[in-house]
Chains A and B, each alone.
Chain A
């Protein structure tokens, strides 16, 4: 199969941007654990999460090759639609001011407060609980990254570029987090979620259609057209749902 830059670009970009969001969320919790209990439980928990992720990928990866292509396309397409449209809906509602923006600084404060409260109740096994929090964050956010990488690349020979995009995002966030020792609150998370939601929804429609036997006009180019449509509808939804000025002012 010939894989051109046209194929690699969208898959790599979607994997990079989505992983950036997930990595920032995981970093916030790992940093909170490190702040309360030090780097040892935070690092051990994160490492254990990464090891389990690697085992899951190594175990499930080869199984994907045995699934018939149209079934794989249909299953991944449906999951992508559920995942992508969930992100897009939330990003629209946040952009319109219907629900509050996700705040990494506040998430950090809440996680830190919870760990301190646990410290008062379970002093003896606090390191274990702290490591568990770090482990859970890395595992769950990592699973999202793995899902996105598989979803945008499976069956098209794009696993390597999509993985490279995801890995670059994770390393970038980990590197910055290690240097600044603060949650990355300035990352425009909602804009990223909006863009990724648009891309994943477009991929989701394309793959689900292919799984149902639809021969899309323009083949892969249809993904770009779908993304433009989702972007336009998402933008219109933000404009329509935005609070009127009278509702915002006291």
Chain B
């Protein structure tokens, strides 16, 4: 039973390592799906949400991971990070 539990946990771990990243990706996909349903005449809108949403999520997640290990939650560093991106 322990072995089965370990295998199951490792299988989930293949797709979910950082819970926040997984949730953010799913949120982007849901937004894209809503867009595809509400405005089916412009399917590229859903595509744009998906592509740029995923890229944004990746940048934001890496920035947060980096900032979380700095003093004061890396507030100053966060400002520099977003300034660097923008």
Contacts and interface: CB of A to CB of B under 8 A. Distances in A.
Interface of A: 78-79, 81-83, 85-86, 88-90, 92-93, 96, 98, 132, 136, 139-140, 143-144, 147, 201, 204-205, 208-209, 212-217, 226, 229-230, 233-234, 236-237, 240-241
Nearest to A243: B66
Contacts, number: 115
B32 A240 contact: no
A241 to B, nearest CB: 4
A233 B40 contact: no
Interface of B: 3, 6-7, 10-11, 14-18, 21-22, 25-26, 29, 32-33, 36, 40, 43-44, 46-47, 50-51, 54-55, 57-59, 61-63, 65-66, 69, 81, 84-85
A23 to B, nearest CB: 16
A240 B60 CA distance: 11
A237 B67 CA distance: 13
Contacts of A78: 25-26, 29
Contacts of A83: 14-15
B63 A209 contact: no
B37 to A, nearest CB: 9
A90 B16 CA distance: 12
